[in-house]
Structures are given as structure tokens and as C-alpha cells.
Amino acid sequence: MASIFRVQVYLTDKASRRLPLLLCFLAAMVMLMPCSSRAETSYRSVAGPCHLEFPRDHGPHPGYATEWWYYTGNVKSGSGSPFGFQLTFFRHQFVPPGDETGWPKLPSAWRTPQIYIAHLALSDIMEGTYRHVEQMARGAVGLADATSDLEKTSVFVKDWSLEIRHEDSIHHLTAVAEDFGMNLILSQEKPPVLHGQNGYSLKGKAADSASCYYSLTRMSVHGDLVVRGQSIPVQGSAWMDHEFSTAPLESDLLGWDWFSLQFSDRTELMIYLLRQKDGGMSPASSGTFVDASGTTTALVFQDIAVEALDHWQSPHSGGSYPVRWAIKIIPLKMELTIAAQLKDQEMNTPGTTRITYWEGSVSVKGNGKDGKPVTGEGYVELTGYDKPLNLP
Amino acid sequence: MKKAVFLVRLWIWFSLRQLRSQYWRTLTVLLGIALGAAVFTSVRLAVNASVDSFANSMDTLAGKADWTVVTPGARVPEGLVAALQKHPAVETASPLLSTYVRPAGNGGEPFLLIGLDPISDRDMRQWSSTGTSERGSSWLTLMRTPYTLLPGEKLSERWHKAPGDSITLEHAHRTVDFQVTDILEPEGLALAEGGGIALTDIATFQEFTGLHGWVDRIDLRLKASAQNDAARSIAAMLPEGTVLEKPSEARESGKLMVRSYRLNLSVLSFVSLFVGMFLIFSLVSLHVTSRRHEMAVLRSLGASSRLLFFLFLLEGAFFGVVGWVAAIPLSSFLVRRLVEQVSATVSHLFVRVQVDQLPLDPLEAASSFALTLFVSLLAAIQPAIEARKVHPREVFLRHASRENGSPAPYCLALLGALLILTVWPLVRLPAIHGVPLSGYLATFLLFCGFSLLSPWCLHLLGSHLPPLLQHVGGQPAYLGGRYIRDSGARMALSVGALITAVGLFVALVIMIHSFRGTVELWVEQSISGDLFLRPKMSEINRYRDPLPPQTVQLLQDLQESVEIVPYRRIFLTYEKVPYQFEALDLSRLRHHASLLFLQGHPENIFRELEARDGILISEVFANQTGLGVGDHFTAQIEGTKLDLPVLAIFRDYRTQGGTVHYPLERFTKKSGDTSWSGARLFLKHPGEDLEAAALALKNEILTRSGDQAQALEVTTGRDLRRIILRIFDETFSITSVLLLIALLAATLGITTTLATFILERSRQLHTLLAVGASRTQVRTMIIWEAVLMVITGEGIGLCCGFFLSYLLIFVINRQSFGWTFIYSVDWTALWISLPLILGTALFAALPASQLVFQRPASQVLRE
Amino acid sequence: MNEVFSSPIIKARQLTRIYRLGQVEIAAVDHIDLDILPGQMVVLKGNSGSGKSTLLSLLGGLDQPTEGELHVAGRDLRKASPAEITHYRRSSVGIIFQSFNLLPTLTVLENTCLPALLAGKPSPQVKARALDLLDWLKLTARLQHPPSHLSGGEMQRTAIARALINDPAIILADEPTGNLDSRNGEIVMELLWELNNKLGRTVIIATHSTLADRYAGLSLFLKDGVIAEYS
């Protein structure tokens, strides 16, 4: 979900660094727009129903400032070694629609309004290691792009790619970095889950502080991971998010905690918690429960109770992240304990885009819907814990 | 250790106090050696600064690239970037474009505009802007807003532009308003070209220059895990004509071009040090002679002969060390003046350099110290050996007497002749790695050989001239002549300084005259044309931007009244030798101009060229590559393969390497490249005032070009030829400075030499007084001696200079730069300057002649 | 005063030194036999060119004999290597010259110290001895003066101090009074006699002058390189 707020971090400049993390997005957006008033009106905004249709809406949505295709999953090798993986493609439009009119009559092929970023991470739970790397390219001259037609949707950044075959909803992820990578086939097992009101997912008080947001909450995975040049055949389960928006995060927010959990009874739970600067939770925090048949239950702020049980301080960024939680979903009588499979799963890219957040594989046990005992796995994303960026 | 301490102590007692008491002489010699060391050091530093600035620029431009993809003579299609980026061994593929552009308006100095993709570039090159501590917004602004740029600090200061200001830039084809986004931090890439660069987004660059679809090169960084054969598999995916190069190659080929120039200047500057060496020799040997008795006393008191040897060697070392230290302020004064000139010359001749700092290289300082010390020790070694020969029994001799041990003048002359003869086989040896070592050795042997001839010449003069001298100058002249006759071998080395300086002077006067004469002829015949037309900044952008099609059309419309000779010029390398390939309309050109062929009649050569497919190569290219008439030249140009016989060799003095001429129509046919790099225009009906007609044509072209006019550089033939000759003269101004310093040092040499001879003979001179000579007569005698000495030095120097000029023109220039000239002597300059040198030298003799009567006669005679 | 029974400190047999001047050979010292006992005071007399200086330079190790044997202070100077002869000059003889031969760039003290420093003796010790000697020779006031500031007598006294600095057994003096007035000549002769008489040095003086006659233990008269007369 909340990756919408990530793209901004690397865009920060000296002025915006003085602002809390979440303001950075706003600052960055303003900065990106040569004339903010015009720019604000020229980007498309999400202020009402998203009318999502598939497979059409797997494809890119230019005109919105930010968009991502986001895959996380937990897999096991033939010998039973567990791995967590993340592959995310971000699209960021840094020139508002309409500004192209100011371009030279015969523009260069390099002139583009889009930048693409991709994040790849692999958590080797047995070995206790977390590898991560990113790629970035302008959306031009074949370096990066996102396209969609009747047959397929494809997104790529350099040689990392995502291909969604519409006919049978097979997602093909390929990303190989210097010493690790993956080549995975994901099969959709449940229909798309539209969050909020049919995909219109409110992220603040204003009507346009929102995104269009859907998930594929359960996908079976098979394929190969590559670790130090060795191919490891794996199988498991994955989760996909696709979200697009133009809205900046509201100014009183500090960061967010996002959970995607898959339970042994084939149900799933997604919750996001928007943390306010005053320490409380924003009322816009919410979630979705998906039962085994794919039927969804929307959860609101009051339905969710979360307590952080343990913390871990990052030696890289200095941020102190919760790594164990107790979560209650009151109306569904769910009581869960969630624990990070590895403490250090911090995506930290100081040399390049400077995006810092915690994104990691977690295990879960406790009582599922209606108090029945369940186990499960999932992914958690934590932002705004990175101390230097939080300094006023 | 104890011995060394004692040696130094004794040296202070024995030598330093003597040097201090005769401080004028000591200072003169110190000044001489300091001048030599300063010239040598500062020339080296200045050249190094240029070379370093070039190498640094190339390195910062290359960044962390492991490989670079280029198309020799052309550009690389941008589509390759993505293809390369997806190769499994490639970590980053970053495209780069660069060109010299300049602010619009008069006097805008060209600077290097670099176009890159800020995202791919982040792994390749280091740069950041001042406004943001992270690359942050400024690079994004470059990408987002067309026509924005990030200038280096130096440029923004030069332009007085702050972030947000706009500046109008002109390139060969367009003039556009740019906005300054921010200023680059002075680090990494921003230091290339001495800080005179600006960055822009690749999209803006292409839109500005019209190079849509193309990049100059693609820099590659391979993954750490890339296999050894990665380069081969990458190369295999490149289109024909596009190659994978090591990024250092451009730097190395540039450095190679400058190497000969650097070496030539070093050798030339070493001459000053060499002249300084004569000064040390002359003073130390004076001391050895005049203090012979004291040395005998030392021997009688128990000093070993070795001790005396080291005592005088130490004296040499003293001059070396103190001279070098004294050279430091002199060097820092000189180097500031030289560096501008040297970098201008390097830019004119070889590669564009922008020197922004003068790094003090400890290695260079150490080596100049070592060389100065070495030269000083070398100068002192012969007198020190002489000191070793002092026998203790000489203590009983009442007065210093010179042992008559020195070889007879004719023996020295024979040795000298032998050395001069050795030059003959030596100059036939080839250069070693492009360095004319044998040429330099031959130069050294010439100086030594001619110096050794001098005692014999003096002896001859002294034997046969005195009767005549008596007739002209009376008794003093007669006595002066006699003294010269008997002055012996030591004179050889003292006059040697003068011979070296005069020899060098004459040789350079002849060389520069021949060079200029030949270049003038070449300019007149080969650079003929009434009007020259090319895109702006063609020279510094290496003719990579052809004339716009509208201009070509305009020229073709003018054909009624004007003959057009178009050309296509491409910069290439042949087996690592940089050269210019020039396809030009030879059949039209030959009606108006000619080439200076080394051999063969132009008519026949042009006829042959019409009959068969072949190329003409320049002398420089022939010498640098070893290609000769009949050999086959192969090249890959813009994807077209050429394999052609060499039909003739012509003289060419354009800078930046050799030239290959090929008929334009044939090139167009083979390559399909119809573009023109430029054109020469010949008026069909010039009328009476050619210059006025040319100017009128220029105005017509500019007017009819409309918007295109600002992209064109139109020069009249007369102006162009004048510019070429001006650059030529500027290039040699540094040589003249070095020459003057060598002459100055030699003049100091004359002062010391004469002083030496006078002090040595003060008893004899006073005896002359005692037997009735007047002071004036004695002084006149000394002046006559000086006249004879200087005339001998100049005479021999003149001969030496003629030999040397041959050596310079036909050996050293050919081996260093690949060209030779039509030999011609500048008699006028010699007629004027030789008497001037004579006068100066005699003027320098005056203070010496005053020394004679410093001490009362009675005291001198009583000793 | 002569120690009759001791062996000679200088023993020459058929000692010859021939110089070549162009085609001509001149025997400056011509087959001389000579025995000089330790502690003797010897005066060499004879005209210019009689061979006095040549004999002195042979005895002082400044020159090498052409023929014959020469043993001085137990050393065979004929067969000695250059290094041994240098050592001999440093340790066994002190030489005083008519023209003093002081080094003009050195002070009185430095001139005096020089032979001992050349012999490699430690500087403080040398300086102390030199100061003693110069005190004895009444030159204390002149220590830091260069020779050009001295009178003839002072210069020769400095030369004597220099000759004594290494405590040599033999003092050779070549016309020591030749450049001095009679009063200073007397003083120098007195000093030499004192060296011989009180300190027991072997002193050999080559001179024209009759000043030395009354101190001589042995007088030799040289003529054309041959000893013409003993007395």
C-alpha cells in the first residue's frame, strides 16, 4: 500500500530535509512542479470512485503522479529453507500532464515525464541475511517503461521486469542483481480485492487525500531464486498491491505501518495505520479482511488495536523499528501475534535514491476469524522511523 | 660520519670562506646555475600542468568507466544504451555527449557543454550542485525543464550568473537561452577542463545541437561478477564501425601527442642548465688553479689526495644545492608566465587544455634538484680530479704554477672532430618510441665536439694573428693574441658556454626561419582560397558538426560566380596515431591550389589520382605511421571500410597530427556521407580588389543565410592565413624566452671566464705594469683577449649552429613531430644578432677588466 | 747532549732524487748517505739549488726518492704506500716553511689545529692542545685572526704551533727565518733550539743564514746534491 509515500524521499533537497519525513512528499511534489497551482490542477487526482476494471487496470495510469506494482511473498526451497522476497516497480511522473506543450518542437527521445524505480530484496531466513538493491531509469529510449494492451501488462526498469499475462492471470517477475535475484511465476488464486470503497482508499481527511488501491492477496509462486550465482527452485505464496495517486500525505502524519498477512485457513488481512505526529493513530487508518472465498470485509480505525511488543534499532539509519506486535481485530475476534522473521530487513539506499524503510517477512500465529487458531506468514512495511529524516 | 663532518668543516674553512670573500663571482655563478635550474624546473612544471590538466579532464570525464563504446569518426546510436544496459555483465551504461559552445555575443569564451542522463550517470561520475547537498532537485530540474544547465563555479563567476539567471549559448547550429539551475560544486566532473564546463540533460543537449538519436559515447561499468570474456560478448553486439575502447585510450593518445613537445621543451630548457654547468666548471677550476699552493700545503700537513678531490666536489655540490634553492623564487616567477604560453601552445598544437592550477609535484621538484646537483657535480669533477693531482712537494715552490699536464690543443681538436663525426651515424638511428634520443645525444656531442675545437682554433688564431693584431691594435693586441694562443685546454670548456649558447641561437634562428618560410609557402599554396566557410567552433569540436543543409544549398546556388571546394574532415586514429581524414574535391582544388609534395610533380600525381583509387598522405602521417608511397592504408570510417594505396606524400603543417587526403566524390560514393565539414570558395571573377570582393561575398552569404548566419564561421583567405602565421609565431615565443636565458647565462659565463683568467695572471699582469706598461695598455690587452675569445666562441658557435640546425630540422623535428622544412638561413637576423651578441659579451667583459688593479701592484708582486 | 748509542732516527743510503726537465736529468740529491740520531739538531747549509729543499721534502715524505734507501722513524719511506706516507706526514714530522704557508682562509687557531684534525683526532682535545701551544708561543691574543692580519714573526710562530700540534718526533724547517727580520729570526731560532734542547725533538733546519750555526749539533753543507762537508 503505502508505497505512495516512498518515492518522495529521494527527491528531498536541503529545504525539505528540515521537514518531517511525511512532509517531504508534499515538499517534493511542490518542488517538482514549476508552477504549483497549475501543476496541482494538471495532475489527475483521486477524489472519488476508481471504477477499476481488469485486466485493464493492471496497466499504468499516466497523469497520476505516483504508481507502483508491489510484490511480496514467502517461499521455501526444496529442502525447506524459507525466504522472503520483495520486488516493487515505481512509476513517478515528474512533469505534470500538459507541461509537454512547453517542450521543444522536436523533442529528444530522452525527454520524458516519467521516472521508474525498482526495489528488489531477499530475506534468507535460515542464513539470517537480508539483501537488497535498487534500479532507477528514465522512462525513455527503452530503459524503463510500463505498457498494457489486451494481451499483457508489462513494466520494466533496465533488465528487471514484470509481465502480467491477462489470459490466465499469470505474473512473471524477473530481476537479477549482482549476487542475487529471482525468476518467479505467480498465479492469481483469488480475484482482485478492492480496498476502501471499491478501490477508493482514503488516506487522510480531504477527499482527494486518497489513492486507487487493489490487491491480489493470494498468489501461488513457483520459480527460482538466485543466491550467489546458485539457482534455488522455490515454491510459496505471494501478495500483490497496485496503487496510484497524486495526493501528498497530509501534514500531521509521521509515517505508517502496513501489514499484509496470509493465514493457514486461506484468509488474508491487510491493515494500514497512519501514525500522527502527536503519537496517535489517524482516523483514516483502516484495513480489509478477505475470507477463503474472496469475500471482503472493510475494517475501520476503531476495529483495529495494535501494540508493539519489541523494537530493533537499525545500525544503518539509526531508526528504531517495532519488530513484534500484538494485533486485535475486534469485530472479527482476531487476536494475533506477529514477529519479524529477521530483524534487519531495512531497505536503505544511501548512495543512490536515499529511500529508507523497513519491509520484511513476518510470521504470525494466534486466533483467526471468530477465534479459530491459525498460523500464517506475511509482510510488514514501516516508514517514518528513520531518525535523521524525522528531525525537525 | 666523523670524516664527513670534518670534510664539511674543512670545506667551510677552506672553500666557503673563499667563496664568501669573492662574493661577486660566487653570486654570478649561483645566478647562472639558478637561472638554468629555474628555467628547467618551470618549463617542466608548466608543461606538466598542461598535460596533467588534460589527463585529469579525460579521467574525470571517463569517470569510473571500465569500457567506452565509440564509433571512430562518428557517433553512437542512442538505442545502444538500453541494449547495453540489459547485457548481463553491464552494471551501468551511461551515454555522454559533449561539445564546445559559447555564450552569444562577442568575446564569449568557448566552454565544454556536457550532456548526460543524470540517472545513469550517478554510478559513473561524481558531481553535485551547491544549492543542494544531495543531488536532489537540481538534476531533476535538468531533466524536467528544457534548456537548463549546471555551470561549474568558474563559468558562473566568469559569466556573473547565479541560479535562476539565464544565458544565451551558441552552438554550431543554434542559439538558445539557457537557464542556470544551480552551480556545480568544485569536485569530480566539475573540475574537468579546469572547471570550465557545464552540465545539461541529454535531452536538452540533443535538442540544442540537433543530434537527436545520437550520443558521442556510452561509458560502461561492468558488474564485479562479470566474466573475462564480457568485453568480447559486449563488442559482439555492437554494430559495424562501433568499437569498445578502454577509456584511457583517448587520454593516452593525447598524451602521446604532447610527449614530443614536452621532451623538446625539456631538452631546450636543459640547455640553460648545461650553460650553468660551464659556469661552475669555470669557477671551480679557477679555484683549483689559483689555490694549488694552498692545496700543496694541505697535502704536506697530512691531507690525502682524496680529501682534496672531495673538497672541490663539495664546492660543485654547493653551487648545485644553493643554486637550486635560489631557483625556487625564480621558478615560481617564471612558471606563472610560462604556463599560460605553454598551455596555449599545447591547445593550438595538440589537445585542448585549461590549466587552472599549478600542482607542485614533489617528484618533479626532487628530479630537478637531483639533475641540478648532478650537473654541478659533473662540472666540478674535472677540476676536482685536477686537485687530486697536486703533489705535496709543490709546497716548496714559491708560487702557484700550472703543471703542464693538459693535452695539446690538436689532441683536443681531434677528439672534438671525432665527436662531431660520431653525429653522422647517430642521426641515422631511428627514434625510440617516438623519442629522438639519438638526436638529443647528437646535439650534446655537437656542443662538446665544437667546444673541444676551441683551444686549437685559439691556438691558430694566437699563432697567426698577433702580427696582424699588432698592426691593428698595437702591443696590447699582440700580447692578448699570444696569451690566447697559450691558454690551453681549459679555455675550451670556458668558451664552451658561449659556443653552446651561440650554437643554439643560430640553430634555432635557422630552424624557426626555415619553419616559418615553409609554413608560409604551405599556407600560400595549400591554404589557398578567397573565403573559408565552416560551422562555428569547428576547430575545437573537431569538425563533428557538418554544415547545415541550408548552407550547402546556398553555396550550390552561388556556383555561377564562385567555385566551391567542399571537404569532409574526420578525426581518427591509425594504429593509435591520431590523424585527420579529409575527403575534399581535389579535382577542383588543383585549379586554384597545390600541395607541397615531397617528391614528384603535382601534375603527374593529380593525374594518377584521377586514374586510380588512392590516397595522399601528409609527411607527418607518413613519419608517424611508417607508411610510404605504394603502401596500403586501411581504415574504418563511419562504418565504411577503406583499403587504399598511398599515391604521394605532401608537406602539411596543420596541427593535431597527420592528414590523409582522399577525393570527396569517391568518399561520398563509398560511404554515402554527403555532408560537408566546410568549404573553400574561390571567386571566379574577383575583379581588381580581391579582398573587397571576398568581403562582399562573405556579406552576401551571411545575409542570405538568415538565421543560420550565426552558426557559420566565414573567414577570408587572407585573414585565415594571417591567423595561422600568428599562431605559429606565438608557438615559438616560448622558445625565444628560453634562448634569451641561455644567452644570458652564457654572458655571465664570459664574465667569470675572463675574471678567472685575469685573476690567475694577476702577477703576470702586474709584472707588465712593472716593466712599463700603462694600465690602459693592460686593460686594452684584456679587452683584446675578450674580443678574440668571443669571436672564437661565436665563430665556432656559428658552425655548430649550422650543424645543429640540420639536426633540428631533419632529425629531431622529423622524429618528434613528423615534419621537416625547406632549409633556409635567416642571414639578416644572423647579421644583426651576432655583432649584438659580440657587443653584449664584450660589455660583460668590462667588469672583469676592472679586476686587474684591485690590489696594489707591490703586494701582488711581493707574494 | 747526543745520545750516541741509540740507533739513528733518520737513515739514508745512496739516497737519490732525479728531476727531468725536458730532455735533461738533474740529480737534486745525489747518492747521499746520512744517519741522524734522535734528538739531534741538524743544520743543512748550501746555496740555492744545492738540494737542501729536495732533501727536506724527501725527509718530510713530501717527495719520493728515485733511488736508494730512506728509513725515518722506523719507516721505509721508499717502499711505503701513499696512504702510509700520508699517515707518516700526519704523525711523525712537522714542517716549517720560509713563506709560512699558512692557509689564508683559516684563523690562527684553525691553522694550528688543522694537521691534528686531518689525522682524525677529536676536536676538543686538539683545541686544548692548540691553545696550550699558542699560549706558549704568545699568540693567545691572535687566535681568531686570519694570517693576513699577522706580522711575519707571528705567522712563523703560528707555523711552529701547527708543526707541533701532532707532537711529531722530527721537525723540519726550510729557511724558517728567511722572511723574517733579524729580531724575529732570533726568536724563531730560540724556539727551535728550545724544541730540540728541552723537548728532545730532532730538528733539521735548511738555511742560508748563519743564525742557526750556534745551535747546530750537526752541520751539513750541500753542494750539487752531495754532502760536501760535515761539521
- Chains A and B touching, counted as 3 or more CB pairs less than 8 Å apart: yes
CB contact under 8 A, A14 and B203: no
User: By the CB < 8 Å criterion, does B405 face chain C?
Assistant: no
Other chains touching A, judged by 3 or more CB pairs under 8 Å:
B
Considering only CB atoms, which chain B residues are within 8 Å of A143?
81-82, 85, 120
> What's the whole-number mean pLDDT along residues B381-399?
82
Considering only CB atoms, which chain B residues are within 8 Å of A106?
207, 212
User: By the CB < 8 Å criterion, does A256 face chain B?
Assistant: no
CB contact under 8 A, B14 and C115: no
| Chains A & B: contacts with CB separation below 8 Å | 91
CA distance B574 to B565: 26
For a pLDDT cut of 90, what percent of chain B falls above it? Answer: 21
**Mutation for A interface: B207, B212, B222, most A CBs within 10 A:** B207
What is the per-residue pLDDT across B673-685, written as a single tens digit (0 to 9) for each? 888 999 999 988 8
Taking 70 as the threshold, does the pLDDT of residue B170 lie above it? Answer: yes
Of B79, B91, B133, the CB nearest to A142: B79
User: By the CB < 8 Å criterion, does A168 face chain B?
Assistant: no
> What's the whole-number mean pLDDT along residues C190-212?
87
Q: How sure is the predictor about A308, in pLDDT bands with cuts at 50, 70 and 90?
A: very high
CA B206 to chain centre: 38
Which range is least confidently modeled, A50-59, A137-146, B425-434? B425-434
Residue B860: predicted pLDDT:
56
Can you give the CATH number for the domain in which C157 is found?
3.40.50.300
Which range of A322-326, B715-719, C199-203 scores highest in mean pLDDT? It is: A322-326
Taking 80 as the threshold, does the pLDDT of residue C131 lie above it? Answer: yes
Is the pLDDT higher at A125 or at B861? A125
Distances in Å between the Cα of C90 and the Cα atoms of A239, B295, C99, C116 are: 103, 15, 20, 7
The complex's ipTM works out to: 0.89
Taking 80 as the threshold, does the pLDDT of residue B254 lie above it? Answer: no
Instruction: Give residue A264's domain range.
Output: 2-47+54-390
Taking 60 as the threshold, does the pLDDT of residue C224 lie above it? Answer: yes
Residue B856: predicted pLDDT:
59
Taking 80 as the threshold, does the pLDDT of residue B371 lie above it? Answer: yes
Q: How sure is the predictor about B489, in pLDDT bands with cuts at 50, 70 and 90?
A: low
Taking 50 as the threshold, does the pLDDT of residue B455 lie above it? Answer: yes
Which range is least confidently modeled, B356-360, B698-702, B783-787? B356-360
Ramachandran assignment for B302, one of left (phi > 0), alpha (psi -120 to 50 degrees), beta (any other): left
Q: For residue A245, give the nearest of A206, A218, A219 by alpha carbon.
A: A206
Q: How sure is the predictor about B285, in pLDDT bands with cuts at 50, 70 and 90?
A: confident
Reported pTM:
0.71
Cell of A183: 525468476
What is the per-residue pLDDT across B52-73, written as a single tens digit (0 to 9) for each? 888 888 888 888 888 999 887 7
Taking 60 as the threshold, does the pLDDT of residue B203 lie above it? Answer: yes
By CA distance, what is C58's nearest residue in B? B393
Considering only CB atoms, which chain B residues are within 8 Å of C117?
6, 9-10
CB contact under 8 A, B202 and A34: no
Residue A6: predicted pLDDT:
36
Residue A13: predicted pLDDT:
34
Taking 60 as the threshold, does the pLDDT of residue A170 lie above it? Answer: yes
Residue B861: predicted pLDDT:
53
What is the per-residue pLDDT across B504-554, written as a single tens digit (0 to 9) for each? 888 888 888 888 888 888 888 787 888 888 887 777 777 888 888 888 888
Q: How sure is the predictor about B858, in pLDDT bands with cuts at 50, 70 and 90?
A: low
Considering only CB atoms, which chain B residues are within 8 Å of A12?
134, 136
Residue C197 covered by a domain = yes
**Domain count across chain A:** 1
The mean of the pLDDT values for chain C is 87
> What's the whole-number mean pLDDT along residues B690-705?
85
CA A127 to chain centre: 25
Of B21, B302, B391, the CB nearest to C118: B302
Ordered by start, the domain boundaries in chain B are 1-62+254-400, 64-246, 407-529+721-863, 531-685
- The conformation of residue B356, written as its DSSP 8-state character, comes to -
CB contact under 8 A, B396 and C57: yes
Taking 70 as the threshold, does the pLDDT of residue B400 lie above it? Answer: no
CB contact under 8 A, C57 and B393: yes
CB contact under 8 A, B137 and A141: no
Is the pLDDT higher at B432 or at A207? A207
Which range of A284-293, B104-113, B341-350, C193-202 scores highest in mean pLDDT? It is: A284-293
Considering only CB atoms, which chain A residues are within 8 Å of B201?
110
Considering only CB atoms, which chain C residues are within 8 Å of B6?
117, 120
B486's CB contacts (< 8 A; 6+ apart) are: B462
CB contact under 8 A, C105 and B21: yes
What is the per-residue pLDDT across B594-638, written as a single tens digit (0 to 9) for each? 888 888 888 889 889 888 899 999 998 998 888 999 999 998 887
Q: How sure is the predictor about A32, in pLDDT bands with cuts at 50, 70 and 90?
A: very low
Which range is least confidently modeled, A70-84, C2-16, C86-100? C2-16
CB contact under 8 A, C62 and B299: yes
Can you give the CATH number for the domain in which A287 is found?
2.40.370.10
Residue C105 covered by a domain = yes
What is the per-residue pLDDT across B756-779, written as a single tens digit (0 to 9) for each? 777 767 777 878 877 777 888 888
Which range of A71-80, B484-493, B801-810 scores highest in mean pLDDT? It is: A71-80
CA atoms in the 13 A half-sphere facing the CB of A339 = 8
Helix pair B717-760, B690-705: axis angle to 10 deg:
120
Cell of C32: 747521499
Which range is least confidently modeled, A280-294, B385-399, C22-36? B385-399
> What's the whole-number mean pLDDT along residues B730-741?
77
> What's the whole-number mean pLDDT along residues B420-425?
90
Residue A390: predicted pLDDT:
31
Q: For residue B121, give the nearest of B94, B87, B140 by alpha carbon.
A: B94
Pairing of strands C218-223, C41-45: parallel
CA distance A18 to A31: 14
The mean of the pLDDT values for chain A is 85
Which range is least confidently modeled, A3-17, A134-148, B607-621, C26-40? A3-17
Is the pLDDT higher at A204 or at B306? B306
Residue B405: predicted pLDDT:
52
Q: How sure is the predictor about B859, in pLDDT bands with cuts at 50, 70 and 90?
A: low
What is the per-residue pLDDT across A328-379, written as a single tens digit (0 to 9) for each? 999 999 999 999 999 999 988 765 666 788 999 999 999 999 889 999 999 9
Taking 70 as the threshold, does the pLDDT of residue C172 lie above it? Answer: yes
Of B17, B301, B305, the CB nearest to C105: B17
What are the DSSP calls for A187-230, one per residue? EE-SPPEEPTBTTEEE-SSSTTSEEEEEEEEEEEEEEEEEETTE
Residue A231: predicted pLDDT:
94
Residue B661: predicted pLDDT:
93
**Domain count across chain C:** 1
Find the radius of gyration of the CA atoms of chain C.
17
Which range is least confidently modeled, A111-120, A272-281, B336-345? B336-345
> What's the whole-number mean pLDDT along residues B181-195?
85
Q: How sure is the predictor about A21, in pLDDT bands with cuts at 50, 70 and 90?
A: very low
Residue C46 covered by a domain = yes
Q: Give ∠ CA B272-B278-B280 in degrees, rounded to 5.
A: 105
Unique residue bearing C-alpha cell 524525522? A390
CA distance B668 to B690: 32
Which range of A104-118, B132-146, B345-359, B670-684 scores highest in mean pLDDT? It is: A104-118
Taking 50 as the threshold, does the pLDDT of residue A9 lie above it? Answer: no
Residue A377: predicted pLDDT:
96
Q: Using CA atoms of C3, C8, C10, C13 in order, give the dihedral in degrees to the nearest 10.
A: 140
Instruction: Give residue C112's domain range.
Output: 38-64+80-230
Taking 70 as the threshold, does the pLDDT of residue A25 lie above it? Answer: no
Taking 80 as the threshold, does the pLDDT of residue A11 lie above it? Answer: no
By CA distance, what is C173's nearest residue in B? B396
Which range is least confidently modeled, A186-190, B259-263, B316-320? B259-263
Is the Cβ–Cβ distance between A210 and A46 less than 8 Å? yes
Considering only CB atoms, which chain A residues are within 8 Å of B146?
102-104, 107, 111
